[in-house]
Structures are given as C-alpha cells and as structure tokens.
Amino acid sequence: MTRDLESAKHSSMDVLHVVGARPNFMKAAPVLRALTTSAGVRQTLIHTGQHYDSNMSGVFFQQLEMPAPDVNLGVGSGSHAQQTAEIIARLEPIILERKPDLVLVYGDVNSTMAAALVCSKLLVPIGHVEAGLRSRDRSMPEEINRLITDQLSTLLFTPSADADENLLREGVESAKIHFVGNVMVDTLVRLLPFAEAQSSRELPQRFALVTLHRPANVDDLPWLKRMLFALSELSNDLTVLFPVHPRTRQRIADLGLEALSNGRLRLLEPKPYLEFLALQRKATVVITDSGGIQEETTFLGVPCLTVRENTERPITVSSGTNVLVGRDIALLQTETSRILSGKKKAATAIPLWDGQASGRIAEVILRGL
C-alpha cells in the first residue's frame, strides 16, 4: 500500500518536484512558489535533463525565477525507451536517499511517467499536476505517459472539467481528483507584464507566429516541405516568424530548404519564455502543434490554428480561440484567410483559469500537514 500522506501530519513535509522539459518548468514554477510560503514544507527540485541546452532549459529557470535544481540527472536525448530507462535508473537512488513524503510530476513528458513509475515501485505518493487530459490518440507518446501517470498517482490536479470526467470514466476514485485550474495560466499572468515591457518595437504590425516540433509532423518530410512552401506563400500577406525547434531545423536542412528564410518568412532560433510570450501576445495568428500554446493563446484571446488531428485540450476548441486544422494544408490556408479577414473565434472565460491554480494545489497538499 502506498505510504499515506497522513503520516506527514504535525511534522514537516518533504515535497520533491521532478521536471524535465520546458512545459514542466512553466507548471512547476508557481507550485514551488506557492509551497515556499508555507511553513513546514521542505522542497527538492530534480531536473532530469530531458531538455538540456541553454535555450531549451537553463534560461527558462532564470526567467521563471525558479531555484537552481538540487540535482540534474543529465539524461539528455535518446529514443523514448532509452530516455525513460535512464531517468528511472538515475532517479531511483535519489528517491531512496531523500525519502520524500510526496513527489510532484508535471504534464506528459517522458520524465513525468518515468518518475511516476519509480515512485509507485517505492510506495512514495505521487501528485500529478495537469492530470486527466486525453487526446484519445495512443499513437502519441504523451498520451501513454498521461494514462500511466494518472493510474499511479495519489493526487490528481486537473486543469478543466473535462479532465475530471476522463479520470472518473477510467475508474479513478473521485477523492483523488482535485479540480484546481491551469497552472500554466498562473505563470502567464505573473510574467505577461514583464514580457510586454521587453517586447520589441521592431515587430511587424501583423505577423503569424509558427511552432512545429512533433515527430508526426516534422519527420514527414514530404508534408513538411508542403508546409514550408505554404508558410512562404502566407508570407506574401503578412510576416511569418518561425522559432525553429532543433529537431525541425535538422529536417529543414535535410530538405535543403534553409533558403526559404527571408525578410518575410523568418526562421529564428528558439525563444526563451518571456520573448516567446511577447510574440504570442502580439501575433495576428499562431500556427502550432504544441499543447501548451493552445492554452496560452486561448487565455490571450489570440487565434490559434493547431496542426494536429486531435487535442488533449478540447476546452481550447469549445471555449477558446483554437481551431484544429489537422495536417490539411488547404484547410490551414482557408482558416488563416478567415482570420486575416477579421472572422476570428471569440474566447469565453474558462473556470479557474485565473492565475490562482498553484495556490489551490498548495492547499490540497497542506491538508496532509
């Protein structure tokens, strides 16, 4: 039986956070901050090193004002199996040594599932921040990570009502589920003024912001080639800013299409959080295959076209600014034209996307003290 959080009552509680990729950092930062203000809570931050270069990792810690990790496992890149296995092997001794009362994992990356597996074997309670999201597409590695992590977790912190419904449908006990809202919004609300203050005055008046990184898209070279030419065509109507993920940049090089980058279609280096948030805030339209960007654009009221057949964040479609266009480039062009002609979706307020989700998470955890 998993060690009960009640054992921490009337004493200090050791909470260990495991992060591994940029989306994790944006979710963990406000939770770390909320628990820091609580007496009787000791915290440890473990970075698996799943994202490991400075633009993809280090600068995010600085901008989010996160403490330096207590431990960096230095896992680096590899196949899903290799990366997951390395995290498990390197994390287990840390958990055995530190004996935390609770381990918090975030989102749906390999680090999330690997940490949940380690803790479940060692009977350490797991809290999953951003639990219950489902795309219904098991070809996505992230979907497998979500399903496994949620089945192993003791505390499931959900961002939206549909996530609660998914968990209940899968047989998760209702007492484990806590609807707290979206912690990504906490970070966005806190840092948006800083992003706007440093926003470049040299930005075009109108521009499309593009991100593409999912293997199903960028590893399909014929599709990626058509997409790049479509973006080049779009740049005749407005500037296209495309911060390019390292994986995507390599695929563009494989296609020999680096020369498409010009004054109107700009292939840029990856952007740190504040710079990218400033771009999102001012974009005319965002074209992406990212999950978190669907949420951020909805909160910001910026039109978002998601180049995926499904989303684990359906609330961004039903209540937000997001439109799923799949991998249909003709549909992408049609929807872009609609937005440029002024026919954009209006977002409605989503419950508990208010910048206070991390405080609600801390309240649930502190009930164990």
Q: Which residues are part of the catalytic machinery?
A: 213
Cβ atoms 12, 42 nearer than 8 A: yes
DSSP state of 36: H
| Amino acid sitting at position 16 | L
Question: Which residue from 248, 232, 240 is spatially nearest to 266, judged by alpha carbons?
Answer: 240
- Rounded-to-integer distance, Cα 130 and Cα 185, Å: 12
Who contacts 4 (Cβ-Cβ below 8 Å, separation ≥6)? 125
| CA distances from residue 10 to 14, 44, 366 in whole angstroms, order as listed | 13, 20, 11
Question: Which residue from 185, 307, 300 is spatially nearest to 242, judged by alpha carbons?
Answer: 307
Question: Could you write out the DSSP letters of every residue in 252-320?
Answer: HHHHT-GGG-SSSEEEE----HHHHHHHHHH-SEEEE--SHHHHHHHHHT--EEE-SS--S-THHHHTS
Task: Quickly count: other Cβ atoms within 10 Å of residue 235's Cβ.
Answer: 20
Buried b (16+ CB within 10 A) or exposed e, 250-266: ebbeeeebeebbeebbb
β-pair partners for 285: 208
